[in-house]
Amino acid sequence: MVNARRERYREETRDEAKRIALAQLAEHGPEGVSVNAIAKRMGVTGPALYRYFKGRDDLLTELVRDAWHDLADAAEASVAASEGLESADRTRALGEAFRTWAITQPHRYLLLLGTPLPGYHAPTDTIAAAHRTMSALLRVLPPNGDGPVESTLDGQLRAWARSRGEGDLPPAVLLTGVRAFTRLHGVLSLEVSGQFGPMGIDPALLYRAEVESLILGDSGTRGSTRLSGPG
Amino acid sequence: MVNARRERYREETRDEAKRIALAQLAEHGPEGVSVNAIAKRMGVTGPALYRYFKGRDDLLTELVRDAWHDLADAAEASVAASEGLESADRTRALGEAFRTWAITQPHRYLLLLGTPLPGYHAPTDTIAAAHRTMSALLRVLPPNGDGPVESTLDGQLRAWARSRGEGDLPPAVLLTGVRAFTRLHGVLSLEVSGQFGPMGIDPALLYRAEVESLILGDSGTRGSTRLSGPG
DNA sequence: TAACTTCTGTTAGAAGTTCTAACACAAGTT
DNA sequence: AACTTGTGTTAGAACTTCTAACAGAAGTTA
């Protein structure tokens, strides 16, 4: 039988370590997350932390896991809060929520979607959390996708939808969702990695322009099926 | 007076070190680039390499610099090769060239546009190389941007164009270029970091869909000026 | 040719890192 | 009270970056 007090203490210790790791991540980047340094800040010696994490990789994987869940929670919260509004405003709300989540903790966003960690492989519950985020997006986007989709892609989208238990959604809608994500990520990714800095362009304006184009649906869902040149 | 033979040897040594560093980067990621290991593979001791690079950061900065120049060269080569073709086909060609460059050396793409290196600051010639890439894009994209642009963004785009000696291009065209880049990067970034793997969706199809939407110009350059919701 | 300077390599070592092994002791269970 | 489990310690191996001091080769100059 497991002791509850010990279990609670263990969880608190793990949380404290992760909190400090997150601070290190923000300050020095992924390479700067040091088990030894975390332990020192906690007032214990380095090897003590190996009772709580298998190693550095395990600790980082945990941070990735937590971040995905946190992002999914934020997305779902936005969708819940915008219930009753029209699709355009719900999309704007989710778009802002997504961007806010990203730019208030750029290091975390990059942990999820930047350069992958060397030996990292996503645990299944992390993939599920990523799916939650995508589902939130699909729930608010205007249903502009209703045309036929190029056949290869059509099959892949159907298979993907089935695997996540949303086999009822038409491929065109799924495609709209995926493309919406890649477009928003395109701007956010460059913003959080500081690429717009030297350009003097406000990424918020670019980002909102993308959001509006998603709402207008003039974003090539028609053209998306044309995969080769004319003629 | 500088000795030419020594200078040449020095350059060769630097190149060899960078070649090995690139191999390490591909195999073990940015964290796996080790000065010591590079030296060992070259048949010298670790400290010897410090005659050629100030340190690890200096070496990595060099890799970033080279990669930007290489990418710009590839973009310009594509633009030169497609001369005479119509805009749509030139855009397709450049799009494919960009993607090919990225997916044949994902680690290098991520070095440029993934998680930034801790203490990295772009040298001026690197920024110039990035500008070359953008200029190539602007040269082939269809001139769909001719409407008015939201005033704040308009000013920022004008200033940006002036700073790179292309003050004659209208802001709407510049905006089209920037947004084209963010969209293509959105797909590529997720592809090279392996995010589409578990989804079972072929990123090439998504990427080409984005390219086609850029060609059709239905990508929200009209909607781009609407930065807030309707009334 | 001899002397001097510069370049390129060496070894030694400081200060880090991750992580394992062996040990000490407290906490919880039987 | 005896036993098991959890949590911490120190010691140490095998790495890392990077500096300091020294050795010798290469190139320059008198």
Residue B231 has pLDDT above 50, yes or no: no
What is the C-alpha to C-alpha distance for residues A158 and A166, in angstroms, rounded to an integer? Answer: 9
What is the C-alpha to C-alpha distance for residues A82 and A92, in angstroms, rounded to an integer? Answer: 10
Q: Determine the length of chain A.
A: 231
**pLDDT score, position A200:** 95
**pLDDT score, position A115:** 97
Q: Does B19 touch chain A (CB under 8 A)?
A: no
Instruction: Using alpha carbons, list the distances in angstroms from residue A103 to A85, A99, A190, B123, B227.
Output: 25, 6, 11, 25, 19
Strand D–CB A48 distance below 7 A: yes
Residue of A199, A207, A221, A226 for testing the chain B interface, max B β-carbons within 10 Å = A199
**pLDDT score, position A205:** 97
**pLDDT score, position A76:** 98
Strand D–CB B121 distance below 7 A: no
Q: How confident is the model at residue A221 (pLDDT cuts 50, 70, 90)?
A: very low
Residue B157 has pLDDT above 50, yes or no: yes
* Chain A residues closer than 8 Å to B122 by CB: 198
B183 → closest Cβ in A118, A186, A227: A186
Mark yes or no for CB contact B220/A219 under 8 Å: yes
**DSSP tag of B117:** P
Residue B221 has pLDDT above 90, yes or no: no
Q: Does A32 touch chain B (CB under 8 A)?
A: yes
What is the C-alpha to C-alpha distance for residues A179 and A117, in angstroms, rounded to an integer? Answer: 25
Strand D–CB A13 distance below 7 A: yes
Strand D–CB A226 distance below 7 A: no
Instruction: Return the H-helix or E-strand segment holding A218.
Output: none
Q: Does B29 touch chain A (CB under 8 A)?
A: yes
Could you report the per-residue pLDDT of A18-43, keeping only the tens digit for each? 999 999 999 999 999 999 999 999 99
Tokens of A221: 């869902």
Q: What are chain B's domains?
A: 1-53 (1.10.10), 64-227 (1.10.357.10)
Q: How confident is the model at residue B146 (pLDDT cuts 50, 70, 90)?
A: low
**pLDDT score, position A6:** 83
Helix axes B171-192, B87-104, angle to 10 degrees: 30
Could you report the per-residue pLDDT of A189-202, keeping only the tens digit for each? 999 999 999 899 99
Q: How confident is the model at residue A218 (pLDDT cuts 50, 70, 90)?
A: low
Place of tokens 């969209």: B183
CB-proximal positions of chain C, under 7 Å: 7-13, 16-22, 27-30
Q: Which phi-psi region, left, alpha or beta, contains residue B220 (left: φ > 0; alpha: ψ -120 to 50)?
A: left
Mean of the pLDDT values across residues B157-185?
93
What is the C-alpha to C-alpha distance for residues A155 and A136, in angstroms, rounded to an integer? Answer: 22
**pLDDT score, position B135:** 96
Tokens of A106: 């750029």
- Cβ-Cβ contacts under 8 Å for A2 (sequence gap 6 or more): none
**pLDDT score, position B111:** 97
**pLDDT score, position A226:** 31
Q: How confident is the model at residue B224 (pLDDT cuts 50, 70, 90)?
A: very low
What is the C-alpha to C-alpha distance for residues A128 and B91, in angstroms, rounded to an integer? Answer: 37
**pLDDT score, position A2:** 60
Q: How confident is the model at residue B223 (pLDDT cuts 50, 70, 90)?
A: very low
**pLDDT score, position A5:** 80
Among A138, A132, A129, A172, CA closest to A153: A172
* Chain A residues closer than 8 Å to B115 by CB: 29-30, 110, 114-115, 193
Residue B228 has pLDDT above 70, yes or no: no
State chain A's mean pLDDT as an integer: 91
Q: Which phi-psi region, left, alpha or beta, contains residue A80 (left: φ > 0; alpha: ψ -120 to 50)?
A: alpha
* Chain B residues closer than 8 Å to A219 by CB: 213, 218-220
* Chain B residues closer than 8 Å to A189 by CB: 113, 185-186, 189
Mark yes or no for CB contact B200/A163 under 8 Å: yes
State chain B's mean pLDDT as an integer: 91
**pLDDT score, position A228:** 30
Q: Does A193 touch chain B (CB under 8 A)?
A: yes
**pLDDT score, position B6:** 84
Could you report the per-residue pLDDT of A109-166, keeping only the tens digit for each? 999 999 999 878 888 999 999 999 999 999 999 987 667 889 999 999 999 999 988 8
What is the C-alpha to C-alpha distance for residues B27 and A46, in angstroms, rounded to an integer? Answer: 29
Stretch among A88-102, A139-153, A174-188 having the lowest mean pLDDT = A139-153
CB contact at 8 A, A51 and A16: no
- Strand, helix or coil for residue A195: coil
Among B16, B8, B130, B17, CA closest to B64: B130
Mark yes or no for CB contact A205/B227 under 8 Å: yes
Could you report the per-residue pLDDT of B34-62, keeping only the tens digit for each? 999 999 999 999 999 999 999 999 999 99
* Chain B residues closer than 8 Å to A127 by CB: 198
Angle (nearest 5°) at CA B93 between B90 and B99: 140
CA of B46, C1' of D19: distance in angstroms:
12
Q: Give the distance, in angstroms, between the CA of residue A16 and the centroid of all CA atoms in the same chain.
A: 23
Instruction: Return the H-helix or E-strand segment holding A57.
Output: helix A56-81
How big is chain A by its Cα radius of gyration, in Å? 21
Mean of the pLDDT values across residues B83-93?
97
